[in-house]
Structures are given as C-alpha cells and as structure tokens.
C-alpha cells in the first residue's frame, strides 16, 4: 500500500550538500507509525539550515546538548521544542562535524488522516500538516524522536516516483538574522504549503 518497497531513501541521500537535499526532498514521502497506525505525507515545503556561520541555524553557538545530533552523521532525526508549545522536525544532512539540517515545513497528508484530525482538533485536510508545528502535532512528533535513524523502518522517507513539476525558491520563513538567504523550497502546485511567499526578485 505505502511506497515502502519502492524506495526508502538511503543515508547517502542525506549525506550531501544541504541545499540539494532540501530541494530534492520536495515530493518525497515521510512514513512513520504511531500507536500501530501508519501515517504518511508528501513533503511540499522545506528549509535548509547550514553550519555555524548561518545565524539562523541552531549550530550558530557551536555544539551543545540540544544540537549534538546535527554534528553527527546524516540521515537522523532532529526535533526541537520552540515557543513553549511547538515541535519542529528536521533531518540531519552533510557529513560528520558539518552541522546542518533540513526543516520539514509542510506536508500533503496521505495516510492516517483520521488520527491526524484527532490530534489537530480540526477536520479540514488543509489545516492538518500545512506548517512545521502543525505537522508535528498531527504526527505526534516530539523531541523524543531526536536521534531516530531514517535508515530504519519505523520512521523513514521514501521516493514513490512522484516528481514535482515546479519547485519555488524563497527566503526562509520566520527567521530574523540570515533571513535574506533563499534557502526555502516548496512545490508550486501544492495547496498544502504553509505560506505562499513570492520568490524574491533577482
């Protein structure tokens, strides 16, 4: 049923330049199981956070207990808690000692809609996973998931053959310092993107 057998992305996929990974993740499918219920969603929006020189990256102050996983190998989950009530899902990229990750900002819900609606408290499918905080709430993703290996079976990303026809690049949403970097990507044809922002003119 799910795209499981078609192609779970290997660690190699994540062990590349973060901007490439963030771009290529558009259209891929996140699969995970929560309370014996399969959940899945197609990635329609991402953002790259790259290294200690990126003022918006959590690695800007160097290695700490919270961001340690970003300094490890690629293909692992990094979830952090923010604003006292929301969780943010990231996938670690690049190689060891190159702290970087891709923030998953929005999904098109595919499987487990009922469970997502229950957790979100709404039924409108466009309100389930169209935002980084929303998708974590819909899929019960918390800091407990930090460190999960995406090469495993309980939480992975797959390629089911879908190809986004048009991917838009814009500055990242909600960041102050480093807000000028065009490191956000989204599927132009998706109605599940969090914020429609016109790409900054050249």
Q: How many residues at the interface with DNA, by CB under 7 A? A: 36
How far apart, in whole angstroms, are the C-alpha atoms of residue 1 and residue 61? Answer: 44
User: 40-79 mask for DNA (x: CB under 7 A)?
Assistant: -------x-x------xxx--x--xxxx------------
Contacting residue, 1, 5, 53, 84, with DNA by CB under 7 A? 84
Rule CB under 7 A: say whether 175 interacts with DNA.
yes
Rounded least distance, CB 69 to DNA, Å: 11
Rounded to whole angstroms, the Cα distance separating 130 from 110 reads: 13
- Closest CB to DNA among residues 56, 158: 56
Q: Tell which residue, 69, 52, 81, has the closest CA to residue 150.
A: 69
Of the two residues 3 and 93, which places its CB atom closer to DNA in the complex?
93
Torsion of CA 39, 42, 59, 173, to 10 degrees: -120
Query: CB-wise, 86 or 162, nearer to DNA?
Result: 86
Under rule CB under 7 A, residue 23 binds DNA: no
* Residue that is written with structure tokens 């819909």 in the block: 138
Task: Check residue 6 for interaction with DNA (CB under 7 A).
Answer: no
Residue 197 binds DNA, judged by CB under 7 A:
no
Binding to DNA, residues 118-147 (CB under 7 A) = 120, 122, 127, 131-135, 143
As a dihedral over the C-alpha atoms of residue 141, residue 147, residue 150, residue 156, rounded to 10 degrees, the angle is -10
| DSSP for residue 198 | P
Nearest by Cα to 38 from 47, 29, 46 = 29
> Which tokens sit at 174?
């909600």
Q: Is 176 in the site for DNA (CB under 7 A)?
A: yes
> Whose Cβ is closer to DNA: residue 2's or residue 169's?
169
> Alpha-carbon distance 42 to 184, whole Å?
16
Q: Which residues bind DNA (CB under 7 A)?
A: 47, 49, 56-58, 61, 64-67, 80-86, 88, 90, 101, 103, 120, 122, 127, 131-135, 143, 172-176, 194
């Amino acid at each position: 049923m799910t795209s499981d057998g078609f192609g779970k992305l290997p660690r190699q996929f994540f062990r590349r330049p973060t901007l490439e990974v963030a771009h290529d993740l558009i259209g891929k499918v996140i699969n995970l199981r929560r309370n014996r219920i399969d959940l899945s969603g197609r990635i329609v929006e991402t953002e790259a956070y790259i290294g200690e020189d990126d003022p918006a990256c959590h690695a800007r102050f160097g290695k700490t207990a919270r961001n340690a996983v970003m300094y490890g190998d690629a293909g692992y989950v990094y979830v952090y808690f923010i604003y006292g009530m929301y969780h943010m899902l990231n996938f670690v990229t690049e190689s060891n000692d190159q702290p970087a990750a891709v923030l998953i900002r929005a999904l098109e819900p595919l499987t487990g809609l009922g469970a997502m609606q229950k957790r979100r408290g709404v039924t409108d499918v466009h309100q389930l996973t169209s935002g980084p905080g929303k998708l974590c709430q819909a899929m019960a993703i918390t800091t407990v998931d930090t460190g999960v290996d995406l090469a495993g079976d309980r939480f992975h990303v797959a390629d089911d053959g879908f190809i986004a026809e048009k991917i838009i690049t814009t500055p990242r949403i909600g960041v102050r310092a480093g807000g000028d970097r065009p490191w956000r990507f989204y599927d132009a044809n998706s109605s599940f993107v969090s914020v429609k922002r016109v790409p900054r003119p050249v």
